[in-house]
Amino acid sequence: MKRYTVITLTITLCIFLPAFADDATLDAEQDCFVSGMVPDVPSGPEVYIAVAADWELEFIPPTKSLIQFDIASLGDILEVQDATLRLHVTNASAAGELEIFRAGGSWNEMTTTWNTRPAEDRGESSLVTPTGLGQFEVDVTDIVQSWVAGFPNNGFYIDAPDNDMAVDLYIASKEATAAGTRPKLQVTFTPGGGAVSENEFEERILLNVSHTSSGTIGVNFTIPFSAQVSLKVYDARGSLVETLVDGPANSGDHYLAWEGSPGVYFVQLLSPGTRTIRKVVLID
């Protein structure tokens, strides 16, 4: 039986990140709610959006809300440090837990109904429980970063998770009379440009290659936010051997296995603003 030895070498690359952060507060571009009680009727420009559900008794037809902000208006963003969605509860018969996640398709506040609502993308989500009337905040950093990284910005869904809790509340919309109650998105972000050290780079994106069994290479990579990722293996001549990943990947740790023959290979990871390579030598 053949035995393989794996030798890995990290290739240091220069990446470009800015040395400062910027802040912006965005107003909602559009918002609406859709209700199973009137599945073919759009809500239109109401002064509120709503969330309702009674998963235990099912007395209340489910109602979800949609809200969208123009992230593109912020210009070229390399990384989002913090994103906070600020909403204001104006009336609450039952203020249970809410879940905020990405809308998975386009919609229009004037025409979207329960029956024509967009798909739900829960790849990134945040939970929050408003306490009474007034303003509450939700950390939506991962969701906003995913838009910057290439996921379509179709806005947020605001929904009641299926956890046997009743929810029935109204939230001020962008048409609310009191301007201070209207939805806001506070974003702290890093614009494009500048440079960082190798150590700062390694803290953001991690790529490791290891030997798991005869002829099998284990590839681990970690990304701090959802992004479009390319992970490819090249031979010593620079020819593409195999594409392991080419598309959206959620934040966190990822593992893949690749079968290789004796030789020299380069494993390259590309994600927004970053590039790193590991050299792998398989010895018979």
Q: What is the pLDDT of residues 87-119, one digit of tens each?
A: 999 999 887 899 999 999 999 999 999 999 999
Task: Say what percent of the chain tops pLDDT 70.
Answer: 82
Q: What is the pLDDT of residues 169-184, one digit of tens each?
A: 999 999 999 999 999 9
With residues binned 3-state (H G I as helix, E B as strand, rest as coil), the percentages for the chain, rounded to 5, are: 10, 55, 40
Q: What is the pLDDT of residues 3-31, one digit of tens each?
A: 444 444 443 333 343 345 788 999 999 99
* Torsion region of 20: left, alpha or beta (phi above 0 gives left; psi -120 to 50 gives alpha): beta
Give the phi and the psi of residue 145 in degrees, each rounded to 5: -60, -35
In this prediction, residues 62-77 reach a mean pLDDT of 92
In the prediction, which pLDDT does 7 show?
Answer: 43
Encoded amino acid at 80, one letter: V
Report which of residues 276 and 132 the model is more confident about: 132
Encoded amino acid at 260, one letter: G
Residue 63 has pLDDT above 90, yes or no: yes
pTM of the model: 0.65
Residue 34 has pLDDT above 90, yes or no: yes
Report which of residues 42 and 17 the model is more confident about: 42
Angle at 173 between CA 69 and CA 64, to 5 degrees: 85
Give the phi and the psi of residue 143 in degrees, each rounded to 5: -70, -50
Structure tokens at 77: 């963003």
Task: Say what percent of the chain tops pLDDT 90.
Answer: 42
The average confidence (pLDDT) of the chain is: 82
Q: How confident is the model at residue 59 (pLDDT cuts 50, 70, 90)?
A: low
Residue 276 has pLDDT above 60, yes or no: yes
> Domains, the chain, ranges and CATH?
5-17+195-283 (2.60.40.1930), 22-191 (no CATH)
Report which of residues 16 and 168 the model is more confident about: 168
Q: Pairing relation of β-strands 216-223 and 206-213? A: antiparallel
CA distances from 216 to 68, 210, 227, 239, 282 (A): 45, 9, 27, 20, 10
Angle at 74 between CA 72 and CA 77, to 5 degrees: 85
Indicate the helix (H) or strand (E) that contains 181.
Answer: none
DSSP conformational letter for 241:
E
Most confident of 4-8, 27-31, 217-221, 225-229: 27-31
In this prediction, residues 134-140 reach a mean pLDDT of 96
DSSP conformational letter for 29:
S
Q: How confident is the model at residue 55 (pLDDT cuts 50, 70, 90)?
A: low
Q: How many CB atoms lie within 10 A of CB 7?
A: 12
* Gap between the Cα atoms of 64 and 114, Å rounded: 9
